[in-house]
Amino acid sequence: MARAVTPRRKAFNTLAAWIVGVLVFFPILWIVILSFKTEGDAIKTPLAVLSAPWTMESYAVVQERSDYFRHFWNSVVISLGSTVIGLVIAVPSAWAMAFVPGRRTKDVLMWMLSTKMLPPVGVLLPIYLICQSLGLLDTKIALVVILMLINLPIMIWMLYTYFKEIPRDILEAARMDGASLKEEVLYVLLPMAVPGIASTLLLNIILAWNESFWTLNLTAAKAAPLTAFIASYSSPEGLFYAKLSAASTMAIAPILIMGWFSQKQLVRGLTFGAVK
């Protein structure tokens, strides 16, 4: 029998949630505020910053100096491309591990997860040389493949967890009704795992969108995404806080909007199978 939650306990939990939410969101809010200030106002004390006049000057300078929409398009292609290709590989892999398990399935899963523990700088040189020899430096193709391989273990782990929650009897019933392997996966398994697939898709788009190590080291101008767009405003001459904040706001705005509208689907997918 579930224990009743008292009004005092509920009020405390609500207050604690609001405090945590404000602490997490405040840095983003402060970046947005600084983006509407001049460089001189951006380095003042917090109270002086809030009372300073608002201006779109930094956004105008950023757009004039850098082609935002080209970087934005590169980010869209890289994040969506790596995620979609990863799903094509991860879905059959997770299906095989969930419904045709072998004695080494857990070992394979742990080995895949262990690849995420390797510092990226440890494999930077060989990957850089491979891209250079194939003529793929500063190309979206290289970043799509690399980010797909980097996030593939997470995608397979998440999908494996969701697929394990689907009753095996349903798939066996589909086979008894004459469904082929392709029909079983496309028309039975995937529709039942839509929340899990959607959350995997959204999470990996966010991971690819925010990836900076590989994008900064393997691109120069043509394939540079928004992470390189932000880094271009950190120079040896110093930090231009207002312009850097404007560039950061322009870079995170699309992914924040996507997360806001898809938060229910994301939460539903992440808690898929948690409650029986």
Q: Where are the domains of the chain?
A: 66-270
pLDDT per 10-residue tile (average), the chain, 276 residues: 70 90 89 88 84 88 85 93 93 85 78 84 90 90 92 89 83 81 80 84 89 88 87 70 88 86 69 49
* pLDDT on residue 82: 94
Token pair, residue 62, equals 């950023």
- Helix, strand or coil for residue 44? coil
* Statement: 66-270 belongs to CATH 1.10.260.40: no
CA distances from 184 to 94, 102, 161, 165, 167 (A): 14, 20, 18, 16, 13
* pLDDT on residue 140: 92
- Helix, strand or coil for residue 235? strand
Contacts of 35 (CB under 8 A, 6+ apart): 58, 59, 242, 245, 246, 248, 249
- Helix, strand or coil for residue 169? helix
The pTM for the full model equals: 0.83
Are 196 and 158 spatial neighbours (Cβ–Cβ below 8 Å)? yes
* pLDDT on residue 86: 93
